[in-house]
Amino acid sequence: MPRDFAESAGRRSALVIGREDSFGAAREQLTRGGSVLLHGPAGIGKSTVLRTLAAEYARTAHTVLRCSATESESHLPFLALADLLGLVLDEVSPGLPAAQRTALESALTGRGESTLQRDGLALRLAVLSALRALAAAGPVLVVADDLQWLDPASAELLGFAARRLGDTPVRLLCAVRTEGPETEGAEYDRHLRASPPDTRAVRLGPLTRAQVSALLGERGYTGLHRSTVRDIHRTSGGNPLFALELGRALAESPAAPRPGEPLPVPTSLRALVLSRLEMLSDEARRTLLVASAGARPTPALLHAAGRENAEAETAQAAALGLLAPDPEGPTVRFAHPLISAALYAEAPTSERRAAHAALSTAASDPIERARHLALATTGTDPRGADRLGRGAAALARDRGAPSVAASLGLLAARHTPADSTPGPEERRLAAAEDAITAGEQDLARDLAHEVLARATAPGERVRAWMVVIEAAGQAIGEVDAVFPQALADAGDDPRLLALVHYQLAWRGLVVQGDFAQGREEAAHAARLAARAGDRRSELLALAFQAQAETLMGHPDAPATIRRALEEPQDARVACHHNGAGSSRFRWLVMSDRLAEARTTVTALLREVRRRGMAESEVHYLRFLAETELHSGHCGRALELSRESLTLARDAGIGEGAGAMQAALAEAAGGDPHRALELAREAVRRAEEDGDVVYLSRALAVLGHASLVSGDAGAAVRALRRVRELEAAAGITDPARGRWQGDLAEALVRTGEPAEALDVIEVTRAHALRLGRGSVLAVLDRAEALVRAARGEHRAAVARLTSARERLAALGFGLEEARAAFALAELHAERPGRAPESASYDEAARLFRRCRALPWLRRGGTPAAPMERQVAALVMEGATNREIAARLFVSVKTVEATLTRVYRKLGIRSRVDLVRLAAGGRTG
């Protein structure tokens, strides 16, 4: 096996980042004995995937034949054939007929006068015979990279043999470059025709931003700002080779570009994309430079910027493949974002400024005009800075583009004189706060430290400390040393002290897990802010106090929420995930008012999306998923949870909380094994961050996922830790995590009913005090299991029946289904009585209504109800696939169930089953 194959095998997970689906499709095809053709543009990762697959399948192949063509050698006839068969010629040559042997040896060695034209049939048959001879000793894998550079003679011979191999155990694994969706169809169709009939074409497309981030991190380009990764993804177009080259250039650059500045484009990529620019006229090149400097350039904009012959010059560029048609309108679109970036990076500074100066008068959007004017100006410019900071940045903020506002704020700071008001540091702080809103914590943190290195004014320093704390997110314990410095800078200023004590409230909650301390700090911050007339800080502190009181089960919670909702309000605080709207949502969910909670969080989600508040969007998607899950809409909850987690991973914020909610959704409506993975991730992240609050919630989710997966022992271990953590934190409201019923059920299943009853009684006292109806019903369901374990079946049935009815009335669909399932299990266990299969049918109906697939698949469900449902659907004429879809099970499950039905009834087919039904013997 070639050395590079062996190396690739050991690094598969790193090499195929973002290629899991493509890799899986190719692997499945090769496993079936088929062939694979990988295709996509240059640098997209075809060779990487090909080498990795080859390394994996070389172990099972008896012979591996390999060639990798190059453009410079594509004119040499039979070169690829020599690469493929040169090393095995001595092995296969003796078994070939004389004419075939002579033709093949002549082609591979260059001796004699034999050519494809003169001895065509003999040479073609020789290649086919050679492959068959090799396959007779064991499977053969033919690996061919860069098919587009294969010499025509070798390509024709390989195609001839491939089309005639039939069942011979020869697999082809090939890769070919296709330039883009507009032309690639014809290109790879030609290569497909030269491949075995069962060849599967697998296209490798661009990577997502998260995948580009993972790739850069795997190659050692770590510590890049989220905004920088976003620029790399946009500039590379998701091409992994281009992304890595840009990452390398950044790593070698002495200073990273700030937002608004172009990325350094390395010479390797400039040469790759700019060679065709040499064929442009000077005027056409200037027109393209103006287009590269614009946001969405159009011919009209280019005309307004002084490019009189824009149409003709862009047509010339399009003919050279530098521009591509835009299906959405008249926008001048570069064929690849890298062309635009390289063109801009290559241009002299004076020409860039001239392009921006022209666009500053041509652009119709005030934000674009201000941005171009700033980029065309050197030195300080008070009026220009004001247009950027107070005008354009504020407008971007109102439009819901905080990332743009941060970029504009930084430009404003650069053009702001040191002695002006507001000064450059204040503008940097505004940019940092916009970056926090946009979810760009790393940029915000860097800007705050820049301010702290220069600023002496207490107000600026305290604001900068607050940005550092906000940027830490859930890992607030990592910035503990900041608080004494922030308090020292605040002095006795109540406005500044309010900011610090608000963050101290978060520290008390997250780091120390002390809700009482967090509540006291928040109340103190609210009083300080009210004294200073800082309504925004007062509202945030009141919202925190309300949230803490709600989770503690404190009687003042409703009153504090009302205070936090009083006018005057701050629009951004009102919709923030730490604002009063969020506190009210949490109170509504815990009070079983699910319809109001859904309406509230939907409105909040709509508003933060409008404002571009990335972190709040992550949280509200998660909150909405939680609401849908309580309501028994498991499919919808799963979609929302996955969307929230994807956004969280992309933004690098709230990943632990996102994993936690996604685990709950997977346990209810998806994959229980995936639920366990996500729950463990949530626990690990909380432990790493030192976040006691999220740790207890993550452990509760882990316990639930373990219970759904059938591991009651693991559920007990996780949930006992939750009980200890919440007791230490002073959390008494059982509606906060709703884990107590799971713990009691798990304890019954592990044979510890006495402890289960203790959990139920302690929790019930708090639930009665707070009026938590759904919690009380779930506790009754758990108590029924305790009573059943003691043989008190009548009392257990009464408890379960009542619990189910109350949960249905409150709209907790999944919990209602769980109660129905417990009731069915109880009926099945009654001594001396036949199981009441109708109870299982009803439980299955409720689980199907909720799309609670893991519960439908639970192994504890008796086979009889499933058998009856499958038999009934067969008699309706449904196919196995249709039955699987209606019952939310796999086709294999349907087939296995039918096999049991046939065996029990002494029949052999669906036809026999229908005949029995017609004769009245299907009971």
User: In the predicted model, is pLDDT for residue 378 greater than 80?
Assistant: yes
- The residue behind tokens 């019923």 is 741
The packing angle between helices 98-109 and 120-136, to 10°, is: 100
Q: How far apart are CA 395 and CA 389, in angstroms?
A: 10
Please tell me whether the overall predicted TM-score, pTM, comes out greater than 0.75 for this model. Answer: no
Q: What is the pLDDT of residue 675?
A: 95
* Element housing 863 (H / E): helix 863-875
- Alpha-carbon dihedral 431, 434, 439, 440, rounded to 10 degrees: -10
Q: Are 27 and 53 in contact (CB under 8 A)?
A: yes
257's CB contacts (< 8 A; 6+ apart) are 228, 231, 250, 263, 264
> Of 790, 712, 698, which Cα lies nearest the Cα of 744?
712
Direct distance between the N- and C-terminal alpha carbons of the chain, in angstroms, rounded to an integer: 62
Q: How far apart are CA 169 and CA 903, in angstroms?
A: 39
Calculate mean pLDDT across residues 726-737: 89
Which of 154-158, 381-385, 656-660, 871-875 shows the highest mean pLDDT? 656-660
279's CB contacts (< 8 A; 6+ apart) are 320
pLDDT digits (tens, 9 = 90+) for 592-635: 999 999 999 999 999 999 988 888 999 999 999 999 999 999 99
How confident is the prediction for the chain on average, in pLDDT?
86
Which of 248-252, 693-697, 797-801 shows the highest mean pLDDT? 797-801
Q: With cut-offs at 50, 70 and 90, classify the pLDDT of residue 1.
A: very low
Q: Please tell me whether residue 200 adopts helix, strand or coil conformation.
A: strand
Q: What are phi and psi of 21, to 5 degrees?
A: -65, -45
Q: What is the pLDDT of residue 430?
A: 94
Sign of CA dihedral 303, 307, 312, 314: negative
Q: What are phi and psi of 40, to 5 degrees?
A: 160, 175
User: In the predicted model, is pLDDT for residue 839 greater than 80?
Assistant: no
Q: Please tell me whether residue 824 adopts helix, strand or coil conformation.
A: helix
> Which residues make beta-bridge pairs with 65?
142
> Of 432, 494, 438, which Cα lies nearest the Cα of 469?
432
Q: What is the pLDDT of residue 177?
A: 87
The region that residue 78 occupies, defined by phi over 0 for left and psi between -120 and 50 for alpha, beta otherwise, is left
Q: How far apart are CA 527 and CA 623, in angstroms?
A: 29
Q: How many of the other CB atoms lie within 10 Å of CB of 603?
A: 14
The region that residue 652 occupies, defined by phi over 0 for left and psi between -120 and 50 for alpha, beta otherwise, is left
Q: How far apart are CA 711 and CA 706, in angstroms?
A: 5
Output 215 or 679, whichever has higher pLDDT.
679
Q: How far apart are CA 434 and CA 396, in angstroms?
A: 10
User: In the predicted model, is pLDDT for residue 270 greater than 90?
Assistant: no
Q: What is the pLDDT of residue 3?
A: 34
Please state whether the peptide bond connecting residue 254 to the residue before it is cis, i.e. omega within 30 degrees of 0: no
Q: How far apart are CA 766 and CA 737, in angstroms?
A: 13
User: In the predicted model, is pLDDT for residue 723 greater than 50?
Assistant: yes
* Least confident interval from 106-110, 281-285, 566-570, 851-855: 106-110
> Of 634, 629, 659, 664, which Cα lies nearest the Cα of 644?
659
User: In the predicted model, is pLDDT for residue 666 greater than 60?
Assistant: yes
Q: How far apart are CA 33 and CA 53, in angstroms?
A: 14
The packing angle between helices 910-918 and 891-905, to 10°, is: 50
By percentage, how much of the chain surpasses pLDDT 70? 91
Q: What is the pLDDT of residue 187?
A: 58
Calculate mean pLDDT across residues 877-896: 72
User: In the predicted model, is pLDDT for residue 11 greater than 60?
Assistant: no
pLDDT digits (tens, 9 = 90+) for 212-267: 888 888 888 887 877 788 888 888 888 888 888 888 888 887 777 766 677 888 87
pLDDT digits (tens, 9 = 90+) for 548-563: 898 888 889 899 999 9
Q: With cut-offs at 50, 70 and 90, classify the pLDDT of residue 702.
A: very high
3-state helix, strand, coil in the chain (%, to 5): 70, 5, 25
Q: With cut-offs at 50, 70 and 90, classify the pLDDT of residue 9.
A: very low
Q: What is the pLDDT of residue 817?
A: 94
Q: What is the pLDDT of residue 923?
A: 38
Q: Which two tokens stand for residue 609?
A: 């999306």
Q: Report CA-CA distances (Å) from 23 to 60, 203, 294, 365, 370.
A: 18, 10, 38, 45, 47
Q: Are 779 and 741 in contact (CB under 8 A)?
A: yes
> Of 843, 885, 888, 884, which Cα lies nearest the Cα of 862?
843
Q: How far apart are CA 812 and CA 808, in angstroms?
A: 6
Q: With cut-offs at 50, 70 and 90, classify the pLDDT of residue 786.
A: very high
pLDDT digits (tens, 9 = 90+) for 42-76: 888 888 889 889 988 888 888 999 988 888 777 78
User: In the predicted model, is pLDDT for residue 283 greater than 70?
Assistant: yes
User: In the predicted model, is pLDDT for residue 785 greater than 50?
Assistant: yes
pLDDT digits (tens, 9 = 90+) for 422-454: 999 999 999 999 999 888 888 899 999 999 999
